[in-house]
């Protein structure tokens, strides 16, 4: 007996075209490293230390026993904040945040391993990446849910009861027919009167009672 496949999770990445997924991952990764380069360069210039690509693609300087290591950890968390904005802007779906956030950090682990030639061995590096993943998933999910729950505007003004009443009062003040009277006259009768107007505007008519109904 053939085993039934489990249906894919709603909103999963496999619902998107592969090329679009690769493009979004490349865009997020580029934004992630661009933010890291800018922030690392800024911190080194302020601190008066040496700047190098090892600060971005390495793991040896990210340690918990030096002030520079703690500063680098804080910079990576700031990069996670930049990624949250990028996820909300580029992805915009809360159900896809977990997949893209974990993929981002996994690709970063692969890049760091290939660049340094070894798997990161500093505990501070792993803790920083773990906290960064949690921050990215939490902030991205919240931002995407906020974006999904925003009211949709169709380009027109909403017409509520207050606005309808205001329009009726304005028409009455300007000497025009109210909305209710206009609709009644278009239908060929007027409420509370024995005289009405035809829909074609040919003239008015007067309602007369039938004699047979009166005798009854």
Mean pLDDT by 10 residues, the chain (216 residues): 54 66 92 94 86 89 88 93 92 88 94 93 93 94 83 55 46 49 45 50 55 51
Angstrom CA distances, 9 to 52, 136, 144, 146, 201, stand at: 42, 21, 18, 21, 62
Residue 175 domain-assigned?
no
- For residue 18 the two structure tokens come to 């592969």
Distance between CA atoms of residues 41 and 138, nearest Å: 27
Residue 59 domain-assigned?
yes
Residue 210 domain-assigned?
no
Q: Give the per-residue pLDDT at 192.
A: 47
Residue 200 domain-assigned?
no
- For residue 69 the two structure tokens come to 């290591």
Residue 72 domain-assigned?
yes
Residue 68 domain-assigned?
yes
Q: Give the per-residue pLDDT at 125.
A: 94
pTM over 0.85? The answer is no
Q: Give the per-residue pLDDT at 52.
A: 85
Residue 176 domain-assigned?
no
Q: Give the per-residue pLDDT at 19.
A: 86
Total of domains in the chain: 1
Structural domain for 43, as ranges:
13-145
């Amino acid at each position: 007996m053939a085993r039934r496949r489990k249906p894919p999770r709603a909103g999963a990445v496999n619902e998107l075209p592969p090329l679009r997924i690769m493009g979004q991952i490349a865009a997020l990764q580029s934004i992630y490293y661009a933010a890291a380069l800018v922030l690392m360069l800024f911190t080194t210039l302020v601190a008066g230390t040496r700047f190098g690509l090892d600060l971005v693609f390495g793991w040896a300087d990210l340690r918990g026993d030096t002030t520079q290591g703690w500063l680098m950890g804080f910079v990576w968390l700031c990069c996670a904040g930049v990624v949250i904005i990028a996820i909300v802007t580029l992805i915009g779906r809360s159900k896809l945040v977990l997949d893209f956030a974990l993929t981002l950090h996994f690709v970063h682990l692969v890049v760091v391993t290939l660049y340094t030639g070894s798997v990161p061995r500093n505990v501070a590096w792993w803790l920083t990446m773990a906290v960064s993943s949690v921050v990215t998933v939490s902030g991205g999910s919240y931002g995407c849910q906020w974006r999904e729950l925003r009211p949709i505007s169709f380009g027109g003004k909403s017409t509520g009861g207050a606005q309808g009443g205001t329009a009726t009062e304005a028409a009455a003040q300007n000497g025009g027919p109210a909305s209710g009277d206009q609709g009644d006259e278009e239908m060929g009768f007027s409420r509370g009167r024995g005289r009405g107007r035809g829909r074609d505007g040919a003239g008015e008519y007067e309602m007369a009672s039938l004699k047979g109904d009166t005798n009854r």
